[in-house]
């Protein structure tokens, strides 16, 4: 009789599915994880630096929610120093928080699909991520580690133009022009256009996953977490809502201008582990512009409007990106 032993597997940090954020030493019995030993990296340099020199580290704590981490950090400094942030900066921050949130959801949705065997959803998600990364690039010059938020506001005002594609040996002038169409206005025009395009993209993700039995087989009724257990384990966000607990910091303890914003929070119905997926995807679906603002009829490729938000009046697309 052959002796059957558990298999110890080193997972990450370079493993493509660990995405560089952690290393796990896993004890496997077939495909079932018996034991996981986590190893997490950490930066401790912030301790010896003045406050505003550490903002850049916050991007690197979690490279899929860069600006949200910055936001928490600069808000803590503002709270300590009693700094009041001008409304325009608050709106810019909330807008980029939401862009980051969508980026984050697209990252997990695509990568999770890939991990579980669905290639296309990854490509689709990263197609939209690319557009949002361009927004990062437009305001901060970098695509990931932005260091855009500062105590008291942001690094600089929103730009009037978007970075554009150039024709090259690999990209025809026609293709570049097609991609640049949405980029021909200001950043806000681009975001406005994105919020119009995005609902159709969500339908594409849902077509690929929601009723796909290959995807449902390893997710539905697996890893069920009861509400009491979710609280014990300190779940937050879609994980907590997936367990059926109504909790969203943007609603319960609104910071910045979230109190003035009109958006819905989807909550899971029960204990199903796919509930985090559903609540997050419906959260994405809430990105579409508010109905009845009369602007939907406009073609996405209409002539770029001047950025009305530049003179203190928030551009309507501020509300659109929930």
Partner 1 sequence: MSARIEALASVIQARLGESAVRRAAVPGDLSFDLPAEGMLPALTLLRDDPELRFEMLIDIAGVDYLDYGRTEWRTTDSANSGFGRGVNASGQGGSHDGPRFAAVYQLLSVSRNERVTVRVFCTDSEEPSLPSVVDIWACANWFEREAFDLFGIVFHGHPDLRRILTDYGFIGHPFRKDFPLIGNVEVRYDETVGRVVYEPVQLVERILVPRVIRDDNRYDAALKDS
User: From the centroid of its chain, how far is CA 55?
Assistant: 19
Q: What's the burial of 247, exposed, middle or buried (CB within 10 Å: 0-12/13-18/19+)?
A: middle
291 lines the binding site for partner 1 (CB under 8 A): no
CB of 36 to partner 1, least distance (A): 12
Question: Residue 271 contacts by C-beta under 8 Å, 6 or more apart in sequence?
Answer: 224, 225, 226, 227, 243, 244
Nearest by Cα to 239 from 219, 260, 224: 224
Of 34-42, 92-100, 271-279, 282-290, the segment contacting partner 1 by CB under 8 A is 34-42
Residue 173 within binding range of partner 1, rule CB under 8 A? no
**CB 209 → partner 1: shortest distance, Å?**
29
**Of 172, 232, 298, 301, the one binding partner 1 by CB under 8 A:** 232
Instruction: Assess 14 for contact with partner 1 (CB under 8 A).
Output: no
Q: Is 42 in the site for partner 1 (CB under 8 A)?
A: yes
Residue closest to 143 by CA, chosen among 133, 131, 132, 129 = 133
Query: What are the tokens at 196?
Result: 């119009």
CB atoms within 10 A of CB 318: 22
Residue 239 contacts partner 1 per CB under 8 A: no
Residue closer to partner 1 by CB (options 44, 291) is 44
Length reported for the chain:
322
Contact 288, 198 (CB under 8 A): yes
Total of residues contacting partner 1 (CB under 8 A): 23
The answer to whether 234 contacts partner 1 (rule: CB under 8 A) is yes
Please report whether residue 84 would count as binding partner 1 according to CB under 8 A: no
Among the listed ranges 47-55, 97-105, 162-170, 215-223, the one in contact with partner 1 (CB under 8 A) is: 47-55
Which of the ranges 58-66, 129-137, 161-169, 230-238 carries the binding residues for partner 1, by CB under 8 A?
230-238
Structure tokens given for 8: 């110890």
Q: How far is the CB of 84 from partner 1 (least distance, A)?
A: 13
Q: CB–CB of 158/315 below 8 Å?
A: no
Q: Please list, residue by residue across 63-88, b when 16 or more beta carbons sit within 10 angstroms of its beta carbon and e when fewer do.
A: ebbbbbbbbebbbebbeeeeeebeeb
Nearer to partner 1, 47 or 262 (CB): 47
Q: CB of 91: closest distance to partner 1 in angstroms?
A: 22
Rule CB under 8 A: say whether 40 interacts with partner 1. Answer: yes
Sites for partner 1 among residues 193-222 (CB under 8 A): none
Does 20 participate in binding partner 1 (rule CB under 8 A)? no
CA-nearest of 153, 160, 206 to 185 is: 160
Quick one: which of 80, 123, 222, 259 contacts partner 1 (CB under 8 A)?
Answer: 80
Residues that bind partner 1 (CB under 8 A): 38-42, 44-45, 47-48, 50, 79-80, 82, 229, 231-234, 240, 245, 247, 252-253
């Amino acid at each position: 009789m052959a002796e059957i032993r558990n298999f110890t597997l080193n997972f990450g940090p370079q493993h493509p599915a660990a995405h560089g954020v952690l290393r796990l030493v896993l004890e496997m019995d077939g495909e079932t994880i018996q034991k996981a030993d986590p190893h997490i990296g950490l930066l401790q340099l912030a301790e010896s630096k003045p406050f505003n020199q550490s903002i850049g580290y916050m991007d690197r704590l979690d490279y899929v929610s860069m600006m949200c981490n910055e936001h928490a950090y600069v808000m803590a400094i503002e709270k300590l120093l009693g700094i009041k942030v001008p409304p325009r900066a608050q709106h810019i921050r909330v807008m980029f928080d939401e862009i980051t949130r969508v980026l984050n959801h697209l990252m997990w949705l695509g990568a999770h699909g890939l991990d579980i065997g669905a290639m296309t959803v990854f490509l689709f998600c990263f197609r939209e991520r690319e557009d949002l990364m361009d927004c990062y690039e437009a305001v901060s010059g970098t695509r990931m580690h932005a260091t855009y938020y500062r105590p008291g506001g942001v690094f600089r005002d929103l730009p009037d133009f978007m970075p554009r594609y150039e024709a090259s040996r690999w990209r025809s002038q026609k293709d570049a022009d097609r991609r640049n169409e949405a980029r021909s206005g200001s950043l806000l025009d681009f975001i406005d256009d994105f919020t119009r395009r995005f609902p159709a993209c969500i339908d594409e993700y849902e077509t690929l996953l929601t009723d796909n039995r290959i995807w449902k087989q390893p997710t539905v009724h697996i890893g069920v977490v009861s509400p009491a257990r979710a609280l014990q384990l300190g779940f937050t966000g879609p994980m907590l809502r997936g367990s059926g607990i109504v909790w969203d910091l943007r609603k319960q303890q609104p910071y910045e201008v979230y109190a003035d914003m009109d958006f819905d929070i989807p909550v899971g119905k029960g204990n199903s582990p796919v509930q985090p997926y559903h609540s997050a995807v419906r959260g994405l679906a809430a990105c579409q512009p508010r109905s009845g603002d009369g602007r939907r009829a406009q073609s996405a490729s209409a002539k770029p409007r001047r950025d009305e938000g530049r003179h203190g009046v928030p551009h309507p697309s501020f509300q659109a990106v929930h």
